Structure 1
């Protein structure tokens, strides 16, 4: 069985029509954020008012498998100790002085339900974004608990809701929910299936990704998290490897690449291989260590003849970190979707 990438499929109306459910889900990302934020405004405001009457928590614990996104946003900003606890249960020291937050947009999962129930049992403050009629919501019932009702399984939309709450109670950075939605809408417009190959950045990126082993890097904490999410999407779309990590973990991959020779004939020489492609997710961070790592990766790629692609944000539309993160992730997910659409199996 042979699989190859046929780029003509990316502008084929019949193919794109068949892929409409996949692409429509991406295009509606901004609308989902707006809808969830609007639907949760009343309980969110009430929860913020209740929090104003209580003391600042001793620590904030983000529980559950999606805690890493909250950690990427909150760690540099949270004025109290912050812990992301992706495993089952909670740290042993969590008690009535602490705040436990959780993203559970699907509302199920024994681990999420157990962690929330444990937080309630210990008397901790609990804020969880989940469907109102779900297992997690039932386990979250308690005197110091707040359920922020979400109705989609979109992890980013649920994260925006929780981060909006933490912003209002002065435990997190400023969150402009409309800016996040606008950033998602901007990517959806730029990467729309109705824009042809020549002017569509996601379609062009999918062509670059085809027949390669993508190596993804983001310099800031949030860009690195975005790189991991995009790598997951590429793996699901193509069924092949995609690696995301820190510069010191990715450099050996680039160093191991065979130097590229323009005169190689892969068919005649029997040297056909999936060469690495360095994909840089640039959220505009210009810290010295970020510039240094990016330069090292790009220099090593150049020395090995490895192609480099960069995904950037629209600075005018993405002034907050969360908006830039959302823009990078959606751009990468669009590229993964077009990669999936272009793949043909004989």
Structure 2
């Protein structure tokens, strides 16, 4: 396999249920035809729920990244990672352009996903904003399971949103979203998302979206069972704010609690990060990303897949980037 960092083209599943794609195209310095392509799955070994291959990153040699990693996990992921986690990348990175507010939804945690869906992971996630706006996150008032079910059955969107915290975010802010927590990303935001490598969503809202919620909103489990994955805990404004890291300097950008799921660092020119599987999203500037194996010219909007065998990587002067990685082995 190639041990050099690889510049990745866009990997945008078509005809998604919500609008967007223009901000990804602008960021990547590409044209956009107005279609619904609001997500770019970067360095993906994950498929969309129910799909055999859609969502997987395809390498220049025609192999999927998933197949390449399975064939040589130590080269891609590193000896320590493989010793602890096997050939599981434990990471999915996306660019997400919310051309409209996303529906209120949640993701199951690991134990629920294992018991009811036979999956290796739940879907805890985090967002690092390149363009700010508003998000809804967690319950601010008490809801019984019965009341939640009524809100969902009635598609009482106003009631759902009124029961949730609304948080304003600005560029550079990061938000950690534990599995089970209801959330909705606001219209106009643009972000880098990191998550556990699964595509598992339980819908609380679907009206006015290109979705058949009663059929597809419960992962095939039925809502009686699926809604049991919901975290009904009431959180204070302070508790929700503790999930948010406001824009700062370089270094880790996520709350400490995120570290058992994934890592994201904001790096500036001259920064070096050690050997290991990583997705680098260049957020500003033009320059060279250097490793012992090769130098790669990059610019804002580029996404780079770094195999562990490439060794330590240095970000050239004039560049800033988000370095997205699995949990430390």
What is the TM-score with the length of structure 2 in the denominator? 0.25
Higher-Rg structure is: 1
What is the TM-score with the length of structure 1 in the denominator? 0.24
Larger strand percent = 2
Larger helix percent = 1
